[in-house]
Amino acid sequence: MKSKVQARSSGRRRQIRTRSQSKALKAQRLARKLARYQMVAQYQIMTRSRVRAALREAEASTSSQAMGAAFTRSRSRETLSVQGRKKPRSRKRILKAKHPSQNYRVTDYFPIRRSTRKNRGELRSEERIRLNALIQSGKEEGMRVGLFEGKGRGVITTKPFQRGDYVVEYHGDLIDLALAKKREARYAKDPDTGCYMYYFHYRSKGYCVDATKESGRLGRLINHSKSGNCQTKLHPINGVPHLIVIATRDIAVGEELLYDYGDRSKASLEAYPWLKY
């Protein structure tokens, strides 16, 4: 028999040996556990991918079978409906058979829908053509001559005008500035002769419309007012400027036509004080 000391020492040796091996055993167990986890995870991934692939294959086979069944049913219906009568050819084939040498378009069978609305350019062009014809014709409608105390003759409307409407042309002899100065000097010598000369510039050149001569045109008789209902405007026709009178507001029947002469010179104001108003 072993003594107690030997038994104790041998027991200690066994206990110490077990502790030294515990770490290695734990590491081995952890490694085996980790390996098992990895194998399970890979198996799950493979299983999921296989299940998805199987589901896709099942869906594809199911849809193809359903499409095939639907196609079979539709073909069977067409066969049943067509039985006993001849299938007509399409319109395109008929047309090609009748006229094999021509190419057809959709517009050959259906008319093109075009808008009847006019753009701004077309409307302006039409209005300019209408105004040119009206100026060249010399027609003066919707006005008459009236007498006013302190002013003499004037022009009164006999029809309403809207803002922007053409009223009348300031018609007379279109002359250059040199001839205009000579005529103005000659008119100044005769106190009974009024002055109906309108000076303006067109394309960097000075002109004058001399309407002093009695002609029966009404544009020359329109009186002056700073707050008139008309204004003058240049309107060229084939490169020749024309002075026209345009309504600046709506004008009722019976109103006097007035526009601003625009002459503010000292000599003119002394000779014609009514130019101040």
- Do residues 217 and 226 lie in contact, with contact meaning Cβ atoms separated by under 8 Å? no
All structural domains of the chain with their residue ranges: 24-80, 141-276
Considering only residues 47 and 183, tell me which one the structure prediction assigns the higher pLDDT. Answer: 183
The strand ranges marked E within the chain are 143-148, 152-157, 166-169, 173-176, 197-201, 206-210, 223-224, 230-237, 240-247, 258-259
Distances (CA, A) of 196 to 56, 104, 117, 190: 100, 69, 44, 14
Closest CA to 210 of 228, 194, 190: 194
pTM score, whole prediction: 0.55
Kindly state the average pLDDT of the residues 9-31.
64
pLDDT at 199 over 70: yes
Identify the top-confidence range among 2-6, 120-124, 252-256: 252-256
* Pairwise pLDDT comparison (112 vs 172), residue with the higher score: 172
With residue 200 as reference, give the H or E element that holds it.
strand 197-201
The predicted model gives 171-195 an average pLDDT of 88
Give the tens place of pLDDT for each residue, 38-72: 777 777 777 777 767 767 776 776 665 655 555 55
**CA–CA distance, 241 with 233 (Å, rounded to integer):** 10
Q: 161, 171 in Cβ contact below 8 A?
A: no
Check: CB of residue 169 under 8 Å from CB of residue 133.
no
Q: What is the chain's length?
A: 277
- Per-residue pLDDT at 271: 66
Is it the case that residue 229 has pLDDT exceeding 60? yes
Q: Could you tell me if 226 and 277 are in contact, meaning their C-beta atoms sit under 8 angstroms apart?
A: yes
pLDDT per residue as tens digits for the range 129-175:
999 999 999 889 999 999 988 788 999 999 999 999 999 999 999 99
Query: What integer pLDDT is reported at residue 97 of this predicted model?
Result: 46
Say which residues have a Cβ less than 8 Å from residue 240's Cβ, sequence separation at least 6. Answer: 174
Q: By percentage, how much of the chain surpasses pLDDT 70? A: 69
Range with top average pLDDT, 5-9, 157-161, 193-197, 270-274:
157-161
Which tops the pLDDT comparison, 78 or 122? 122
Class of domain 141-276: mainly beta
